[in-house]
Amino acid sequence: MTSLAQQPEQPAPPGEDPRTHLLDGHALDEYRRAVGDGVDRVARRIAAAHGPVSGTAAADLAPLVAAIDLDTPLPDTAAALDELEGIYLRDAVYFHHPRYLAHLNCPVVVPALVAEAVLSAVNSSLDTVDQSVGATVIEQRLIRWTADRIGLGARADGVFTSGGTQSNLQALLIARDRARAGAPAGTAPRRLRILASEVAHFSVVTAARLLGLGPGAVVPVPCDAGRRMRTDALARELRRCAARGETVMAVVATAGTTDFGSIDPLGQVADLCAATGAWLHVDAAYGCGLLVSRRRAALDGIERADSVTVDFHKSFFQPVSSSAVLVRERSALGHVTHHAEYLNPARDADKPVRDQVDKSLQTTRRFDALKLWLTLRVMGADGVGALFDAVVDRAAQAADLIAADPRFELACRPALSTLVFRFRCDEDRSDDVVAHVREALWSSGAAVVAATTVEGRRWLKFTLLNPRTTVEDVAEVLDAIAEHARDHLARPHRAALACAG
């Protein structure tokens, strides 16, 4: 049998050596030119953008993309970028625009973009030290810095992840294994339960499914008018679980809910966890910006958590992805450690710098920590905090604007930088108005807003994460919303007049 190594070498396509596309000492001029061309095109698009979107729908682009023959290459990178203009860059959603007010997507800072270019080109893999060297040490230093900002103590540790969903999964995996290990010898733990507020992130339920906990494993805890977990309700659920013979493997407190930015009473939740022995996980994916904010006191109690999720790509103005999970006790991360002889053999376990794969759900992993590193080295923590404080300030001003406007109803005061509100109209038409307004704004390209459900009805939602968004921007988007809503509500009346005529 002929081995793969003995197979005849295939000739390169006529007139081209594929090795010319490799980044090495032979391609440096092409590397500089091609990357520069790509950067210039993005810069031109940002400079020319009159709104956050072009108004084009994905369904309009799908046939263009489907028609491209991926087996037939274009002449060069410039031609490929020309093509990309028409299927991506022209119609991309530009989060940098001050009237992008939809989801938890932030504009990104330039030092992080420089880091993105560097880490992509060097292409370090953060699984083992012998694939990363300085990158591993830098990531570990940033984990230590974040743990200190949280106040987790000297034995804390963590690892960068792809996002809050992965971070929450890993934290709850630790909590599940801890609950199992704590069961009496020869017995299984009682039915496992996770207690989280009724407005906690959906990834908590997803994690429960992935961990095989079964239906009903996540118990929603009622919230107060400010959409914060009620500690009296949490205490009641803890007692109910105990009475039903269930093991509360974790309580998930949220520091910055997706819709309302609400922050659960972390200190009081920590008291209840300490009294019952439940693992306390704090999902601070959104609220982690408070760690460098003048509002740091809003996170008081987070230092008592057993694990914490942070998303730097939300409130630290980092490109996706840049997230981390941290634990109070570094030994807790051993639940994912597996020694593979070809990668991190057990005999190397005591080497001075630990391999990051020993504490990560991922093996191959990008050096995303470099983005935060360069950001802190250029802007400093106070600089990042000032940006986050600016959007929280703007949200408070926008809330005042909405509350004083008789056209709108505000669901509640913002805790961070999200606002949930709606146009005042007949209740039976409000859901339809929300859908129409969102579509009309998108089609016009003037603004992008989100929506959510409150007590079974649809509401509009602003998420402010751009420090350059002004009160005037908000006011003009509100005027556009009101105009689209009134126009939509008037349509049945116009149709009736036409029929009468």
Q: How far is CA 434 from CA 403, 422, 482, 485, in A?
A: 18, 8, 11, 8
SS3 assignment, position 256 = coil
pLDDT-derived band at 358, boundaries 50, 70, 90: confident
Name the pLDDT band for 497 (thresholds 50, 70, 90).
Answer: very low
Strand 100-101 to 448-454 pairing: parallel
Give tens-digit pLDDT for 189-232: 679 999 999 999 999 999 999 999 988 999 999 999 999 999 99
pLDDT value of position 17: 87
Residue 500 has pLDDT above 90, yes or no: no
What integer pLDDT is reported at residue 344 of this predicted model?
79
Q: 29-38, 148-157, 274-283, 491-500 — which is least confidently predicted?
A: 491-500
495 has pLDDT over 60: no
DSSP state of 263: B
* CA-based end-to-end distance of the chain: 86
Separation between Cα atoms, residue 395 and residue 60, nearest integer Å: 34
Tell which residue, 136, 126, 124, has the closest CA to residue 352. Answer: 136
Stretch (H or E) spanning 419 = strand 418-423
As a whole number, mean pLDDT of residues 329-358 equals 83
Cα separations in angstroms, 105 against 253, 387, 401, 417, 490:
22, 14, 23, 12, 34
Return the CATH fold of 123-376.
Answer: Aspartate Aminotransferase; domain 2 (3.40.640)
Contact between 401 and 478 (Cβ < 8 Å) = yes
Assess whether the previous peptide bond of 262 is cis (omega < 30° from 0). no
Please state, in angstroms and rounded to a whole number, the distance separating the CA atoms of residues 301 and 376: 25
What average pLDDT does this structure show over 341-358? 80
Taking residues 405-429, report their average pLDDT: 95
Q: What is the DSSP string of 424-485?
A: ---HHHHHHHHHHHHHHHHHHTS-EEEEEEETTEEEEEEE---TT--HHHHHHHHHHHHHHH
Percentage of the chain beyond pLDDT 90 is 85
Give pLDDT, residue 3.
67
| Token pair belonging to 198 | 């009724």
Domain boundaries, the chain: 123-376
Lookup: tokens for 159: 């690892």
Residue 63, number of CB atoms within 10 A of its CB = 8
Are 471 and 101 a contacting pair, CB within 8 Å? no
- pLDDT (tens digit, 9 = 90+) per residue, 459-479? 999 999 999 999 999 999 999
The three-state secondary structure class of 230 is coil
Calpha distance 16→14 (Å, rounded): 6
Phi, psi (5° rounding) for residue 250? -160, 150
> In the predicted model, what is the mean pLDDT of residues 166-190?
85
pLDDT of residue 157: 97
Q: What is the pLDDT of residue 496?
A: 41
- Please report the pLDDT score of residue 346 as a whole number: 80
pLDDT over 80 (residue 5):
no
Nearest in space to 221 (alpha carbons), one of 206, 202, 200, 249: 200
Contact between residue 293 and residue 385 where contact means Cβ atoms under 8 Å apart? yes
- The structure tokens listed for 23 are 């980044």
Sheet of strand 279-284: strand arrangement: 157-161, 323-327, 307-311, 279-284, 247-254, 192-197, 218-221
| Alpha carbon separation from 231 to 201, 205, 266 (Å, rounded) | 18, 21, 10
For the chain, the C-alpha Rg in angstroms (whole number) is 26
pLDDT in tens, 389-416: 999 999 999 999 999 999 999 999 999 9
Q: Is the pTM of this model over 0.95?
A: no
User: What's the pLDDT band for 8 if we cut at 50, 70, 90?
Assistant: low
pLDDT of 501: 42
With beta carbons less than 8 A apart as the criterion, state whether 112 and 319 touch: yes
pLDDT digits (tens, 9 = 90+) for 81-106: 999 999 999 999 999 999 999 999 99
Alpha helices in 26-181 (DSSP H): 28-48, 58-66, 77-87, 110-122, 134-150, 164-181
Residues 6+ apart with CB under 8 A from 234: 195, 221, 251, 269, 272
Closest among 201, 154, 128 to 358, alpha carbons compared: 128
Confidence at residue 342, expressed as pLDDT on a 0 to 100 scale: 75
Helix, coil or strand: residue 88:
coil
pLDDT at 321 over 90: yes
Distance CA 95, CA 148 (A): 31
Positive or negative: CA dihedral 272, 274, 275, 278: positive
State mean pLDDT over 134-158.
Answer: 97
Q: Which long-range contacts (CB under 8 A, 24 or more apart) does 77-81 make?
A: 77/30, 77/34, 77/37, 78/34, 78/37, 81/37, 81/38, 81/41
pLDDT (0 to 100) of residue 111: 98
